[in-house]
Structure 1
C-alpha cells in the first residue's frame, strides 16, 4: 500500500483579497517502505503538502489516500487513529520535549496507547536504540541537560515509540551539526529497515539524495518533477533553473557536462562523483592514446 494524492489543490483564504494557492493539482504516489524526499525553493508548498498527509490540513479539491483509505474527509476518532498511524514531526521537534527525563518523555506517547510495565520499558529502550541514544547512558538524563541535537533525537524517539507506519519529517536537519546530521540519517535508514515509510521535506538536496529512494520537486505550489532519485539527478540543470541549491560536486559535474556530454549526473554523494570523474578521465586517456596510435601509423622495419 502507499500514500497517494490525486489532483490535490489547497487554497488559503479562498474568496478573499488574500487568496493564495499553496498547492495546485498535485498527483503523486509515495510507495510503502520507501524514503521519499520532497524539495523545492522556499514557499513552494513543501510543508503544506506534508501536513495534508497527516490530516492537519484538508485539500480545497482532490483526494488523499493512505493504504487505500481516503483521509481528507476523516474526523473525530478516525482522524485520531490516522495520526497514530502517520506521525508528523515539525521543524525543530526538540521544542516538543517537555518531560523531566529522557525516559519519561519517550514513554509519554506509548503510555497513551495503554502500554505499561515491562512492555512500556521495552518500547522506550527500543526507540532510544533506533535514534542512537543508548538507554544505559541517556534514559535518566534530564532533558534540560541535553544538546539541541540530542533533544531532537529524543523527540523523534518519542514519535517512533508509537510504532507508526508512516513518519513525516519537516526539515529534520535544520540547525544540526555534521555529526548530528549523520546520526539522523542513520536513524531514518533504520526506520526504513524496520519497514516504516518515511517522507522527508528539506531544502538541502545533498542530504536528501543520500538516503531518498524517490524525489518530488515543488515550485510555486506545483509538482514539476518526480521520480527515482537518480533519474531526477540526471536533470540537474533543471533543478538549478528551478532555484534548487544542488551539492557542490553536482555543480562541478554540471560544468564538465558542458564539454563532456557523456558524463553521468545520476550520482548521490561525493564518492560517486569522484568515481564518475575517474571514469571520465580514464575514458579520455584511452581515446587520446588511440588517436596517437592512429596518427603515428605502423613503423617501418629498420626505422
Structure 2
C-alpha cells in the first residue's frame, strides 16, 4: 500500500504527488527542510523543529506556507493516515513555482511549495548501532558558509556518506581549518573525563534540535559541557565520542580514521545521555 503524502493543501497517494519542473526547490535548491521523529505514534520535539523552520525561512526571506498549528495538524494527520508508530516526517518548503527559470527571486505573489511525507522505522529507538557504535572518517568541509540554515543543499553531505561507505565506515566528520565542524547529517561530540565537548553555535554548524535537548539534559545530570571547536587528534584521544540527530538520537562513535576511540566500544556517557534523551522525549512527545 502506498503512503499518503501532503502537497500544497492536499493529501494524496504518493504516486499522484507532483511538483512543477519550474519549482525553485528543484531548479535552485531554493528550499529548506525539517525532519521530526515519531515514537509511539507521537511527535518528538515538534516545537523545536517548527522554531528552526521559521528561522531558516526568515534567514532566506522566504514566506511561511502556514502557521505552526496548521503544521502540527498536518503532521498528526500523516501519522494517522500512514499508521506510523516509529519513524520520521520529512517536511520541505520551497520558494515555489514562478512559471519559469530565473536567478531573481519571484514576486511575493508566488506561493511557497509545502511537501511532507512519512518514513516508517519500526524499532527506531532500539537501533543495533547503539550497542556497537559507529565508525567515522574525517573529510574536508567544503560546504557553503551558512550551514546554520537547514537547506536542501545536501550534495556534499551525501558524497561524504559515500566516501565513508567506500572506506568501510558509517559516516564522515567534516573538518575545516583543522577543527571538526559536524557530521554529514548530525552534530559531533567528544567526551573527556566527565566533560562533554561540542562545537559552539555559529554559522558553521546546524543548530541541532536534538543537540539543544541533549546538552540541557547533560547539564541537568551534572555533566560539564564545553562548547568549543575540537580537532581530529582530540577526538582520537578522547574517552568517548558520539553524534546527535533527530533520527539517530544519541549514537556512540567508536572509531575515527581507523583509530579506536577510548576502549573502541560505546562508553557510559553516550549510553546515559541516550537513555535520558529517549525517556524525556517520550514523556514530552505530542
Fold match by TM threshold 0.5:
no
Q: Which has the higher contact order (CA 8 A, sep 6+)?
A: 1
CA radius of gyration, larger in: 1
TM-score normalised by the chain length of structure 1: 0.24
